[in-house]
Amino acid sequence: MKNDSGEIGLLVESIVKSGNRHMKTVTGNGNEWIREEFHQIDFGDKRLKERFFETAGLLSSKASGSIYPSCHGSWSQAKGAYRFFSNERVSESALFRTHCVQTQKRLEGIHWFFLFRTHQS
């Protein structure tokens, strides 16, 4: 089944933007967050994984809503991003699954009752 490359592109951009807002304050580098958050992602080809990191890094550094400007005007980078998003092995479920696993790991050990009570005061 072929994916909708536009929706996957928006999903990647959304995850990267939200992660970078949080992690830039922690690590100072959004690309570190991308590699940490998605280190277990599996598209069945390590070249696709590297293309994901490269494309996500470009989107995070200049997220303009359009791929070509986000690729800093490089047609070869934009073409690589478009090919990545339209690849049948790339799926929203792989992105969500990996992101959810990492989110669950971050939440382990947090005492939700304490957080809820703190915000209610």
The answer to whether 90 and 83 have CB atoms below 8 angstroms apart is: no
User: Closest by alpha carbon to 11, among 59, 45, 58?
Assistant: 59
pLDDT, tens digit (0-9, with 9 covering 90-100), for 11-52 = 677 666 665 555 544 444 567 888 988 999 999 999 999 999
Domains of the chain: residue spans and CATH: 44-108 (1.10.246)
The answer to whether 67 and 9 have CB atoms below 8 angstroms apart is: yes
Question: How many C-beta atoms lie closer than 10 Å to residue 2's C-beta?
Answer: 7
Mean pLDDT of the chain: 77
Q: How far apart are CA 71 and CA 68, in angstroms?
A: 5
Rg of the chain taking only CA atoms, in angstroms:
16
What is the percent of the chain where pLDDT is above 90? 27
* Model confidence at 118: pLDDT above 70: no
